[in-house]
Amino acid sequence: MLYSMTGFGRAEATIHNRQVVVEIKSLNGKQFDAITKLPPILRSYELDMRNILNTLLMRGTLDITVAIRQEGASKPMTVNTGLAVFYYQSMKQIAEQLGLPEESMLSTLMRMPEVVAPEQDLLSEAEWLEIKKVLEQAAEVLMQHRKHEGEALYKDLNSRIQNIERLLQEIIPLETQRTEKIRTRLQQNMNEMVGKENYDTNRFEQEMIFYLERIDFTEEKTRLKQHCSYFHDTIAKDGISKGKVLGFILQEIGREINTLGSKANDAAIQQVVIHMKDELEKAKEQVLNIL
């Protein structure tokens, strides 16, 4: 079972005449990183919200939006009379100096900054606990979305590793041909350089064995097969957060493929290795999307 890091979750509820809407969008990220868009009434709870989502969503780049709208009658407003008097005195002085009428001064005064403002709204502990539930519901919806996306990733990644295993089997019949090609090429070179009768064939065979041992990649094939099996086992295990572990396994798979390619010394095997690397790179791209 896999979970993608991308997803979207939305939840809403009516809490004490307040319509609360929570939306969470998640994208890829190495760590937990959250960008919040909160109304002023929730600013004091921002850290609590981050901790809740960090526990539930684990990692990813999150865009969190919480909207709170008052239902029914509008919020009561207050007038800052002290500030209004200050503005009035200044405006009246300017009007007298310039000879301007004062009839529209009141409407202008009421539009001045902070003269008219909504009453300070406070959130009770009970209301916060209800909003917390809405936040958790949105996170749960997002995780379901992540799970659905993870099913497609699971199929694709299994397919990529199976392709690497299939390509590894294609190398086996090419190994015997490779050995004969190398032997023939080196023998021809010796014959052309010093002549067949001018070198010790027994010594040539000894050096040939030593050379073939140096370019033998039996161990690399064995380890590559083991890493692929470990990848299949890991991806099938229960659990949510596997992206980093799978990334490490792919690094080991890549190391064995690179070593195999460097030892190949054969054009046909090199072509197979190139296809392996192509499948590996596609798998790495997909693992970046996994939680």
CATH number of the domain residue 133 falls in: 3.30.230.40
Question: Which residues, 6 or more positions from 55, have their beta carbon under 8 angstroms from its beta carbon?
Answer: none
| DSSP string for residues in 79-128 | E-HHHHHHHHHHHHHHHHHHT---TTHHHHHHTSTTTEEEPPP---HHHH
In a domain, 277, yes or no: yes
| Domain presence at residue 46 | yes
Query: Which tens digit of pLDDT belongs to each residue from 11-64?
Result: 999 887 888 999 999 998 888 898 899 888 888 889 999 999 999 998 889 999
Is 140 found in the same domain as 13? yes
Report if residue 1 sits inside a domain. no
Tell me what pLDDT residue 199 has: 62
Q: Report how far apart, in Å, the C-alpha atoms of 131 and of each of 51, 67, 268, 288 are.
A: 15, 11, 63, 32
Identify the pLDDT of residue 126: 86
Same domain, 19 and 51: yes
- Return the ∠ at Cα 278 (arms to 247 and 215), rounded to 5°: 90
In contact, 98 and 70? CB cutoff 8 Å = no
pLDDT at 142: 95
Give yes or no for a contact between 247 and 118, defined as CB atoms under 8 angstroms apart. Answer: no
Question: Is residue 146 within 8 Å of 291, Cβ to Cβ?
Answer: yes
Judge if 114 and 207 occupy the same domain: no
Q: Are 81 and 176 in a shared domain?
A: no
Distance of CA 174 to the CA centre of its chain: 39
Same domain, 54 and 176: no
Asked if the structure places residue 214 within a domain, the reply is yes
Q: φ, ψ for residue 239 (rounded to 5)? A: 135, 160
Q: Does residue 184 sit in the same domain as residue 226?
A: yes
**In angstroms, what is the C-alpha Rg of the chain?**
35
Same domain assignment for residues 225 and 200:
yes
Q: Is 9 exposed, middle or buried (0-12, 13-18, 19+ CB in 10 A)?
A: buried
- Is the same domain home to 99 and 138? no
Residues 100 and 162 in one domain: no
Q: Is the dihedral of CA 241, 245, 251, 252 positive or negative?
A: negative
Residue 111: domain span: 77-118
Cα Dmax for the chain: 123
Strand order in the sheet with 32-37: 7-15, 18-27, 60-70, 32-37
Structural domain total, the chain = 3
What global pTM score does this model have?
A: 0.69
Shared domain for 61 and 81, answered yes or no, is no
The pLDDT, as a whole number, for residue 241 is 83
Assess whether 263 and 141 both reside in one domain: no
Q: Which residues of the chain have pLDDT under 50?
A: 73-74
Same domain, 164 and 257: yes
Query: Is 2 a member of any domain?
Result: no
